Amino acid sequence: MKTLILILIIGVIFWGCDYPVPEGRMRFDFLQNFNKVEKKPSAEKVFRYLSWQKGTEGRDAMVIGVYGEASFTLRPEETGDDLYFGLRLRIPDSARAECIIVVETSSQSDTVFRRLMDAARFTQDRNWSDEYADMSRYLNQPITVRFSVLYFGTDAWVEWSSPILVADEK
């Protein structure tokens, strides 16, 4: 059952539609709560993008440029077991960037996702990939989730599509 739900969620992220997650399982939708984001260094480096190309390659996304950072502070009831999102490296085609997600609690800071993307060497990094991070150790704790993009020799923009936190079925 969990595998079927995972497939459905990833499929929905691909199409950019509403999620087929029972209301009780959806814990936090980062794009729906984008008004709560702390942007660094400025709004020019972190912004929300709404796609008009649904059903083809378009997805709603949070766009972060190099050295940009988007942080969300979540209450315990907003945390979930699983973080699902899409990822794509944008502009220019020679871009390289490291995409990182860090979770901070009151006592520690952990990197839960790290991926080096290189559009010049790996053209597939220009296309959407669906990603996952295990967040179960932070369930029911106040946390800060920080999405960031680091510089690797070229200016780059990374799109993070439809990041959501979902609670496992109990």
Mean pLDDT of the chain: 82
Instruction: Give percent of the chain above pLDDT 90.
Output: 45
Mean pLDDT value across residues 126-137: 92
pLDDT for 10 equals 42
Structure tokens at 161: 């599509």
Domain ranges of the chain: 2-166
| CATH tag for 2-166 (out of 2.60.120.260, 3.40.50.10800, 2.40.50.100, 2.40.30.110) | 2.60.120.260
Structure tokens at 67: 């050295």
Q: What is the dihedral of CA 50, 52, 56, 57, to 10 degrees?
A: -40
Give tens-digit pLDDT for 71-129.
999 999 999 999 999 998 876 677 788 999 999 999 999 999 999 988 888 888 888 89
Give tens-digit pLDDT for 45-75.
888 887 766 555 678 888 888 889 999 999 9
36-56 exposure pattern, b = at least 16 Cβ within 10 A, e = fewer: ebebeeeeebbbebeeeeeee
